[in-house]
Structure 1
Amino acid sequence: MDNSPISLLERAAWRRERSMPSMPEVSGSIPIRGGTRWRRALAFMGPGYLVAVGYMDPGNWATSIAGGSRYGYALLTVALVSNIMAIILQALCSRLAIATGRDLAQACRDAYSKPVAWVLWALAELAICATDLAEVIGTAIGLNLLFGVPLEIGVLVTALDVFLILYLQNLGFRWVEAFVIALLAVIAVCFGIQIALADPQWGLVIRGFAPTTEIITNPDMLYLALGILGATVMPHNLYLHSGIVQTRAYGDTLPEKREALRYATLDSTLALMFALTINASLLILAAAAFHHTGRTEIAELGEAHTLLQPLLGSAIAPTLFGLSLLCCGLNSTVTATMAGQIVMEGFINFRLAPWLRRLVTRGIAIVPAAAVTIAYGESGTAKLLIFSQVILSLQLPFAVIPLVTLTASKAKMGVMVAPRWLTVVAGIIAAIIVALNIKLLVDFVLG
């Protein structure tokens, strides 16, 4: 009897046999050693934190700062709900990858007709370019705030990170994870110090996590809430997670894959709770530093940086803000590169050298970013940042819906098919995301 999650009969549900795994140069490169459960669980820690990076990119910064400065702590509940949605969707990504040996891009290519797969590929590439555009702008602003580098030059400098990523990948995938986690630690320390300086009202912070009907009844508040949701669940993260979880050599038997799913879900859940902490810290900082001092119209990152010193009474506050933004931008560029590689190889089985793929993706992002910064300066980059989030919102349903439907199919998932309750919850989440992102897009079009 075949004990593997995908038997020969079940494989017939796919259009064709899958090809080479995602990022073959690192696939299965991290052994899962024997010993205690803690040691095996530790071997799975890492991919979740690369995914978490996408939940705290410059797009999240802009929406969280705007929400906190305008409405105080009230939108913390939106950040919490958005994070819960993300945890469930990323858990489905792990399930798909471990059960089938496919990333989401490969699964879409094998399950759908060729024209549909090519359309999904084009939309995924558009989303990754939009993501990279946000990272370019965020990194350039961070360089400007810390070192006074003009935005136009900062945008061009961001192309150099391709060499850093290539170097880390040559050392091994664990080095990539270590680099990302180290920068996340820097971000956490920076925000910890800034929150301490801001001295928020913790009673109001706790109350902010409770739902309020004002979010629905107040149109302006609803718009910002939709922006927070749209900037939280990122389509490229779904492709990314389903690819990098396969860097673990977890084995082929059903017990081994069930254990891998359990530890991978634990990894992504803990990492996304960390991401919630960072996003909540952004909103809390904006509420304490701006909203409660009467500055309720702060929306641009540079403006927030400038006002932190006089409002918090410390010269180190703006430096910490700029440093954490720069770390965030660098981290996000690493994960966007990997997502781009997974999408291109998975959907159309077209493989480029990682450095060449990086330069192509970064070049597509740099051209509009450089043009806007030269023509309009910082105010233009803020508008471009918002536009990139709208593009992501438009593409999101085309990643979420295939993920939910594929993991709900027993013919494709075998015995590791998602439980009915999980499929129902994920379906509700998908419907909410689709509806809210459509509204966000309509509001954007209508001005």
Structure 2
Amino acid sequence: MSRSVRRPQNETDEPLLRVENLTKHFPVNTGFISSLRWNSSGGFPLGLDDKSVRAVDGVSFDLYPGETLGVVGESGCGKSTLARTLLGLTDPTDGAVKFRGMRTTTFGSDEKREFRRNAQIVFQDPQSSLNPRRKAGNIIADPLEAAGWSEEERRERVLELLGQVGLKEEHYGRYPHEFSGGQRQRINLARALSINPDLVIADEPVSGLDMSVQAQILSLMQDLQDEYGLTYLFITHDLSVIRNVADRVAVMYLGDFVETGPVERLFTEPHHPYTCALLEAVPNPDPDVRGVEPRLVGDVPSPSDPPSGCKFHTRCPELIVPDPFTREEYHEYMAFRSDVQDENLQTDVEPAAVRAHYFGGDLPPDVERTIESAVSHAADGDWDDARAALAEYRSPCEAEVPELQSVADGHLLACHLDAEEREAFSW
């Protein structure tokens, strides 16, 4: 008899995984010399540069037994770092991860071993996550060997798993390069499930696969979830995948969750401009509908120097504009102010030429005077006074960090825009 046990869904109000203000920052400079901050002329050091890459910047959520939480966002928003930090593959900078009510960073050796048995990960690239020198059967059996199973028990369990993930007994002795991408991901799933975990974190598990193979793997994952009562944290940049597999969705941008909610509600009534932009980028299969017209402009800011206030404000199509600007004028003003902030303004030309470089038309008289004052201060080398002059006009999106607040049952939003005044979303 196999030692595998069908794991029923745990009906409880207590979360399997609770994450509280989880933070993971990586230092930009690791050596002493490289960490020195020098003065503008390249002379003596002013001190140590303590900048860090804020990969995960205060994330909180609960994950309940038997459910699937999808985490979506562009590449570089911190999704994979979140996964690795949750599993203890990298230590958090701050915050807490609690598994069944116990904080994982306080686990002793036995508790840590039990946690690793109950929490597994499926990586994005099935090729690089499999040892090319080991046969598929041995790869799947590795967690069982670490758990003390005998050779006979390991082989029986591996053959059972191969059948459950759609492979055959003959695949036991083959090497990873002898499989297709979809088959390799099935091996990864079998390895993750070998010791009956409760939690599986799937980090972009189908992003490198063909569409037809994606559908097969997603269907397999749902079947395995039903059979074993698995809890999934499913990470992806593909919203069309999330709609088919998740119960709830968390939208991540530059290390923060900006919107979370039940999957159907978030897909039909999104509120955050970033969520709307991601949804609008999903191709529509209707041939009578126009192609994708992305609303996102500009580059993703550096996580080592994220924008103030709402981190999305530099790319937001619905930025709250202060009086007396139009939206286009204020975006020009922001670009001008950014160069003043970084002391990148050209000061060896006429002020009119500087002004014309940033602004395409006439501006309100008060704004014109503010820009003239800033250019004059910059030309004299008084950069602090130039910055102070431009601080007169500032969007609330730049000034204040929005908190996640409820807009409906289970639907949270971090945005300064009034949810009640938004236009209804439609593809």
Which structure features the higher share of helix residues?
1
Which structure features the higher share of strand residues?
2
Q: Which has the higher contact order (CA 8 A, sep 6+)?
A: 1
TM-score greater than 0.5 by the shorter chain: no
TM-score normalised according to structure 1 size: 0.22
TM-score normalised according to structure 2 size: 0.23
